[in-house]
Amino acid sequence: MSRIIAGAAGGNPLKSVPGDATRPTTDRVKEALFSRLESWDVLSGARVLDLFAGSGALGIESASRGARQVVLVEKASKAASVCQQNASMVNKALKASVVAVQRGSVDSVLDSFVSSSTGLPNRTFDLVVLDPPYPLTEEELMVTLGKISKILADDATVVIERSARSPEPTWPEGLENFSDKKYGETHLWFAEPV
């Protein structure tokens, strides 16, 4: 069973998405990722976007560790329902409405953010985490990253979780890789706006 590792809601169990359609981030990878993000002072007061959210574990961990606003984006109905249950649990633990769920495809949600971002600071994100399904092609990922690059704060961080066998993402104009790390079968890529 997955859990919130640390922060104000640390120790609380997370509901998992039934079946094998999603790939939960292991606690080991999650712990290493968030240790790195905290060392960079990315989380405190951040606006976070968790794309292809699955159970919402990455966004919810961000909320527990001090993010002020988290949006979980998930298309699949079972996963979106689990996201909602986990969001309700962490919001209750935090005694604040920090985590919200948007059901829909990542690209359609990003399109709505991009088209409404002018003059709306709440559509500018400090941290974007995405764990796309492995079948997502590198070309599709690049298109998604291009949309993400339009809704980032100046000092934002983008984290992509991929298979260790996947190539480095093709970075669109406006986004540049600055670090990466392998953890067994998982490869994390870190990028920032340029």
Average pLDDT for residues 56-68, to the nearest whole number? 95
Q: Which structural domains are found in the chain, ordered by start?
A: 27-136+147-193 (3.40.50.150)
Burial 153-180 (b: 16+ CB within 10 A, else e): eeebbbbbbbeeebeebebbeebeeeee
What is the amino acid identity at position 51?
L
The pLDDT, as a whole number, for residue 1 is: 64
More confident residue, 10 or 25: 10
User: Looking up tokens 């001090």, which residue turns up?
Assistant: 66
The pLDDT, as a whole number, for residue 179 is: 95
Residue 117 has pLDDT above 80, yes or no: no
Structure tokens at 193: 């706006």
Q: How many angstroms separate the Cα of 172 from the Cα of each of 59, 141, 149?
A: 24, 10, 8
Percent of the chain topping pLDDT 90: 71
Q: How far is 64 from 161, CA to CA, in rounded Å? A: 20
Q: How far is 116 from 156, CA to CA, in rounded Å? A: 19
Average pLDDT for residues 105-109, to the nearest whole number? 93
Supply the angle between the helices 57-64 and 27-39 in degrees, to the nearest 10: 40
Structure confidence at residue 121 as a pLDDT band (50, 70, 90) = very low
Mean confidence (pLDDT) of the chain: 90
Q: How far is 72 from 170, CA to CA, in rounded Å? A: 24
pLDDT per position as a tens digit, 182-193: 998 999 999 999
